[in-house]
Amino acid sequence: MKEPVMPGAVPNPLRDVLDRRLPRIAGPSVLVLFGVTGDLARKKLLPAIYDLANRGLLPPGFGLVGFARRDWAHQDFAQVAHEAVREHARTPFREDVWRQLSEGMRFVPGELHDDDAFDKLADTVRELDADRGTGGNYAFYLSLPPKLFPTVVTQLKRSGLAESEEHAWRRVVIEKPFGHDLKSAQDLNAVVDDVFPPQSVFRIDHYLGKETVQNLMALRFANTLFEPIWNRSYIDHVQITMAEDIGVGGRAGYYDGIGAARDVIQNHLLQLLALVAMEEPLSFTADAIRAEKEKALSAVELPEDLETATARGQYAAGWQGGASVVGYLEEEGIPSDSTTETYAAIKLGVNTRRWAGVPFYLRTGKRLGRRVTEVALVFQRTANRVFSHTATEEQGANSLVIRVQPDEGVTLRFGSKVPGAAMEVRDVSMDFSYGESFTEASPEAYERLILDVLIGDPPLFPRQEEVELSWRILDPIEEHWVKAGRPEQYESGAWGPKSAHELLARDGRQWRRP
Ligand SMILES: NC(=O)c1ccc[n+]([C@@H]2O[C@H](COP(=O)([O-])OP(=O)(O)OC[C@H]3O[C@@H](n4cnc5c(N)ncnc54)[C@H](OP(=O)(O)O)[C@@H]3O)[C@@H](O)[C@H]2O)c1
């Protein structure tokens, strides 16, 4: 919802930050969870809903409806949710909180193409309105394989569930991936757009719910220190990394044919790039933030030679965590001739006055050295005029590293004199760690995002324009890779294929070892 603006008022970005310190509590509502038997629901969504209830952020009149192809009664669903909460919730289990939450739980068995099941769903949410005072406010969370999104959205329309009423809202939550290329993203959006107005569509990129990702804006715009050097005059290049140490695991069916770039770069890494590259928004409203991110994404330029500016790989057998592991092509459910990449690296430019000439290197991969996500701004070197070569030979470039996971925080790396009679400079780190500096635990990204959906607060959800801009960046690279043949193999537990190291070496740079 757009905020009213007083005539002549000067926008004040801090105003929204202050507002956000007040407790934000969801109003009466029902969350309908499709795909409730899936991995995401069990590990993340059901525990996050309980944690929200435990923190007092859900209203007493809250309803949770599970929909799946199981012959379950309401109590069976509550039992499954109970187990998921006991296993994965972050806050302690409290019987009184659980009792209140479970009293609002309902289950509707059925197939997605079954009209009767959706009519039953409509009856169920209306009964909750009557029994629990949920007010006709419904959020539909599609935690399903993406090919099923159109079926559900069409059913929601047919059954009248999508139609908002006076004083009652209807929202739909779509899990990534939003399509697998520009065309499919547009097709999906056409289906959703036909049923829900844009302000009722919440596209989840759970990275945006992470505390450190939001801290990128605080770091840049609430401090004097960083913004003056956040540009091409001081920054040599930017590295954005999301590394996983695990393989494809049980996600073979989803992952093969999609690959690392579509799974991670199109959404998480390009969103991080947008937050690093964008200009200061006029306020922290959704429209203002999204407008700046879209400008940054529109300014992204692909290098002319995609062969030398990209790299991709597929993990081979090796050792990880002291265990021997199989290669991607030997994983269960993966065809032995698959050309899907499990590692992708790309070099991009951002053609703005702030960033012209500064390369942004993005990389992601499975079975790499360790699990880490970070954004590193690597600064230009000084002339080091007064130091002898030997005094600074161990000094690297200054860098500012925003650690997104697992150890959330910020590291500043710079040169310092080694104690002793000689003048020798070596790199040291100054660390800020969320865990040490704050007593408040960071909420799980899904907690924050589910609460935002129920409140109707959209800044952390990408809109369709951002999704399309990201596919416009990635599609030419994917097309190039199809022609380029098989990805290069890399050893499990190593930091990616040789071509990825060559990509930076050609520019006289190297990847950071996080
Ligand atoms: N898992 C993650 O960590 C993660 C992270 C980011 C995004 N996502 C996204 O979240 C969504 C769900 O992921 P997931 O990992 O939970 O998937 P999943 O474990 O494969 O679960 C999929 C769910 O969809 C249901 N389903 C599948 N085919 C169906 C059909 N024909 N009719 C009705 N229901 C059907 C399954 O129910 P049945 O039990 O009846 O088969 C199950 O509840 C996907 O869009 C995924 O890309 C997942």
Query: Concatenated DSSP letters for 272-306?
Result: HHHHHHSPPPSSSSHHHHHHHHHHHHHTEE--S-H
d(CA 131, CA 126): 9
Distance from C-alpha of 128 to C-alpha of 108, rounded to nearest angstrom? 13
Atom of ligand 1 nearest to the CA of 40: 16
209-505, superfamily in CATH? Dihydrodipicolinate Reductase; domain 2 (3.30.360.10)
End-to-end CA distance of the chain: 40
Q: Answer for the pair 379, 397: CB distance below 8 angstroms, yes or no.
A: yes
State the sign of the Cα–Cα–Cα–Cα dihedral 183, 186, 187, 188.
positive
Tell which phi-psi region holds residue 427, choosing left (phi > 0), alpha (psi between -120 and 50) or beta. beta
Residue 101 contacts residue 95 (beta carbons within 8 Å): no
Output the residue whose Cα is nearest ligand 1's atom 20. 38
Which residue out of 74, 268, 480, 501 is catalytically annotated? 268
- Please provide the average confidence, as pLDDT, over all residues in the chain: 92
Residue 409: HSE in the Cβ half-sphere, 13 Å Cα cutoff: 14
Topology classification of domain 18-175:
Rossmann fold (3.40.50)
Atom of ligand 1 nearest to the CA of 68: 40
Sign of the alpha-carbon dihedral angle for 33, 38, 42, 47: negative
pLDDT digits (tens, 9 = 90+) for 336-378: 999 999 999 999 999 999 999 999 999 999 999 999 999 999 9
Strand partners, 226: none
By the 8 A CB rule, do 192 and 149 touch?
yes
Which residue's CA is minimally distant from atom 5 of ligand 1? 40
pTM given for the model:
0.91
CA distance 467 to 271: 10
- The one-character DSSP state at 443 is P
The rounded Å distance from CA 290 to ligand 1 centre is: 28
19 Cα distance to chain centroid: 24
Which residues have CB under 6 Å of ligand 1?
Answer: 35-41, 68-69, 111-112, 143-146, 148, 175-177
**Range(s) of the chain covered by CATH 3.30.360.10:** 209-505
The answer, yes or no, to whether residue 198 has pLDDT greater than 60, is yes
Report whether 115 contacts 155 (CB < 8 A).
Answer: yes
Number of helical H runs and strand E runs in the chain: 19, 17
At 234 the three-state DSSP class reads coil
Pocket test for ligand 1, best of 44, 72, 143 (most atoms within 8 A of CB): 143
Closest Cα to atom 6, ligand 1: which residue? Answer: 176
* CA 143 to ligand 1 centroid distance, Å: 5
**Torsion over CA: 487, 490, 495, 501 (sign):** negative
For residue 37, what pLDDT is reported?
93
Cα distance between residue 201 and residue 461, in whole Å: 9
**What does the alpha-carbon distance between residue 507 and residue 504 come to, in Å, rounded to a whole number?**
5
Chain segment 114-132, per-residue pLDDT in tens:
999 999 999 999 999 999 9
- Cα 465 vs. chain centroid, distance in angstroms? 17
DSSP-assigned beta bridge partners for residue 377: 238, 400
Q: pLDDT band at residue 165, thresholds of 50, 70 and 90?
A: confident
Q: Is 268 a catalytic residue?
A: yes
What is the average pLDDT across 421-439? 91
Judge whether residue 144 has pLDDT over 50: yes
d(CA 62, CA 137) in angstroms, rounded, equals 10
Phi, psi at residue 99, to the nearest 5°?
-60, -45
Residue 328 has pLDDT above 90, yes or no: yes
- Non-local (6+) Cβ contacts of 447 within 8 A are 48, 51, 52, 55, 209
Separation CA 128–CA 123 (nearest Å): 9
- pLDDT recorded at residue 20: 53
The candidate with the shortest Cα–Cα distance to 468, out of 279, 300, 253, 286, is 300
Q: Does pLDDT of 166 surpass 90?
A: no
Q: Tell me, in angstroms, the distance from the centre of ligand 1 to residue 209's CA.
A: 20
CA of 36 to the centre of ligand 1 (A): 8
Q: Which residues contact 124 (CB under 8 A, 6 or more apart)?
A: 65, 106, 108
Res. 69 pLDDT band, cuts 50 70 90: very high
Q: Which residue has the tokens 């009856």?
A: 123
Name the residue of 33, 36, 39, 254 whose CB sits within 8 Å of the most ligand 1 atoms, as the mutation to test its pocket. 39
Local confidence band at 185 (pLDDT 50, 70, 90 cut-offs): very high
* Average pLDDT estimate for 423-450: 90
Closest C-alpha to ligand 1, atom 3: 40
Report how far ligand 1's centroid is from the alpha carbon of 204 (Å): 14
Contacts for 410-414: CB closer than 8 Å, 24+ residues apart: 410/215, 410/219
- Structure confidence at residue 18 as a pLDDT band (50, 70, 90): very low
Strand order of the β-sheet with 62-68 is 105-109, 62-68, 29-34, 138-142, 170-175, 201-204
How far apart are alpha carbons 85 and 47 in whole angstroms? 5
Buried b (16+ CB within 10 A) or exposed e, 382-407: eeeeebeeebbeebebbbbbbbbbee
How far is residue 257's CA from residue 248's CA, in Å, rounded to a whole number?
Answer: 12
Domain(s) labelled CATH 3.40.50.720 in the chain stretch across 18-175
Tell the residue number behind the tokens 């030679």, with chain if given: 305
Are 313 and 481 spatial neighbours (Cβ–Cβ below 8 Å)?
A: no
Q: Kindly list the distances between the CA atom of residue 342 and the CA atoms of 26, 167, 241, 253, 302, in Å, as whole numbers in the listed order.
A: 39, 47, 14, 14, 21
Q: How far is the CA of 144 from the centre of ligand 1 (A)?
A: 4
Long-range contacts: 329-334, Cβ < 8 Å, 24+?
Answer: 331/247, 331/248, 331/252, 332/252, 333/252, 333/253, 333/256, 334/248, 334/252, 334/256
Q: What is the pLDDT of residue 211?
A: 86
